[in-house]
Structure 1
């Protein structure tokens, strides 16, 4: 027994660290909804996303080189990174940004909390990871979704009939977020910073021509506040978040990592309450309780059957 105690303590410490990183990632991404709204006031969606991923890509490349890493040279790896950049950044960032021009951020938060449901459905339909899905995880996904609906509140759901295309766009982003960690598992042999730098570079290559053709960013006159929001989105919500994200894919797995989308929506509401003076209601408190319960149920390892 005494020989197993240190190992058990080490495992608990490691799990606590990964849960802490999951909460931090959720807080970072939860703040992105507010920053996107601020940036969209004077910066259109494609230009905002192009600036976000380009700044993040340059920062991640510098960090990777500074740590002594080199970017991959194989074409097959870059082809896979291109898909990763498309699923993790280019498509979802653009879909959410465009969606938020037409629907409230609260409703966007509800719709963008669905990646764990998509991961679960994909696993059940394809058989990938089906053995790891049990009643505990299904209940966790259901509890988390119920918590998000309570957390965002009745006001957001009241707008559910408006702008159906914008809602579908945000749901499409959620599907991308569900597919991205599944695809990203193939990069387990690469350092997280290299994967993040490569995927973000591909996202920048995809977005820069699109922004230039569609929105002609050199003709814009963004405010200082909008520029600051884009920089914060790039440095904190993208570059830093990607490093944490690819680590969690390896340590917690796709379903547990995407479960952070529930916390992300909850943090968006909490930030609005504390920073914008929004009213804290019983539905928010009850919803956050369900959110935390769902995330823990999804992320915790399933109990092993007794022999």
Structure 2
């Protein structure tokens, strides 16, 4: 096999692995909407998020230490971690948790599937990453958003503008945070993903613990049921600690737009999990919507074929 063919095969294998990680991340985060719904009746938003990020931070710090990684000592890096923790965890987790106390999880899923639209808008208006925004990717973003709308159905969309507008705005603000976070997170490309995740999550915990203590006084609350505690632990360990390591890796391999395209998949998985676990009705429109979602993700993440006469490296695209 020629060197060029070997490079192409290796690049295709690497890209397939990264897209597999994107699917796994979407599945994990798609389940978070259900877990939040289980916990939120007995554990208020700030307290739930504080517990979630604190448990995740401790776990990530222990793993980083066990792997022999030292945390950065420069104040400028920790200031950047603080911004990352706010954008990626503390603020959006709280906004979504509060929003789901007022609107249906389906509507929340539709609204929270918009980060790729924000990433695209930021790239086009600021010029940051504009050179990598092609017509193909714009079509992919549109296909993904259409797929989310079809998957969730007209019933979920019918509440837009009529039910709890502040809650809807909160979930949209969370989506904006999720769009800005991977752009900001590109500055940590020189650090191992576990170190970035541990630093950002530690800062999120520092932000959320005092907020929960002042605003909700969790020690005065009635003990939550076992299922709510289990939901928070799952949110912390799986949907936060484990997911963040995958997330920071994907920022470096697929780029901000490719990584946020998982928002569309997340909405599709939320519907599939609801059908499998909660007995919700599955329709042909759901199947059609998921097909559109997958087409959109492929358009955004898979590199276009190389032009004739040019060498194709097969390397994962950076968006």
TM-score over 0.5 for the pair: yes
- The 5-angstrom pairing of residues 226-305 of structure 1 reads 226-305=228-307
- The 5-angstrom pairing of residues 1-307 of structure 1 reads 2-160=2-160, 161-220=162-221, 221-306=223-308
Q: Is the contact made by 1:22 and 1:248 (CA closer than 8 Å) also made in structure 2?
A: yes
Give the TM-score normalised by structure 1: 0.98
1 CA distance for matches of 2:133 and 2:305? 12
2 CA distance for matches of 1:200 and 1:125? 30
Q: Any idea what the Cα deviations from partners look like across 1:270-305, whole Å, max 9, x if unmatched?
A: 000111111111110000000000011001124444
| 3-state SS in 1 of match to 2:190 | coil
1 CA distance for matches of 2:307 and 2:213? 57
1 CA distance for matches of 2:75 and 2:143? 42
Over the aligned positions, Cα root-mean-square deviation in angstroms equals 0.9
Q: Is the contact made by 1:84 and 1:184 (CA closer than 8 Å) also made in structure 2?
A: yes
Give the TM-score normalised by structure 2: 0.95
Deviation, structure 1 residue 28: 0.1
Q: Is the contact made by 1:33 and 1:268 (CA closer than 8 Å) also made in structure 2?
A: yes
Which piece of structure 1 moves more, 5-14 or 141-150? Answer: 5-14
Which piece of structure 1 moves more, 148-157 or 45-54? Answer: 148-157
Q: Any idea what the Cα deviations from partners look like across 1:64-88, whole Å, max 9, x if unmatched?
A: 0000001110000000000000000
2 CA distance for matches of 1:192 and 1:15? 18
Deviation, structure 1 residue 2: 2.3
Pairs aligned (count): 307
Q: Is the contact made by 1:49 and 1:207 (CA closer than 8 Å) also made in structure 2?
A: yes
Deviation, structure 1 residue 3: 2.7
| 3-state SS in 2 of match to 1:31 | helix
2 CA distance for matches of 1:215 and 1:243? 30
1 CA distance for matches of 2:307 and 2:7? 20
1 CA distance for matches of 2:265 and 2:5? 32
- Give unpaired runs (5+ residues) of structure 1: none
1 CA distance for matches of 2:308 and 2:16? 25
Deviation, structure 1 residue 269: 0.4
Q: Is the contact made by 1:132 and 1:302 (CA closer than 8 Å) also made in structure 2?
A: no
Q: Is the contact made by 1:211 and 1:217 (CA closer than 8 Å) also made in structure 2?
A: yes
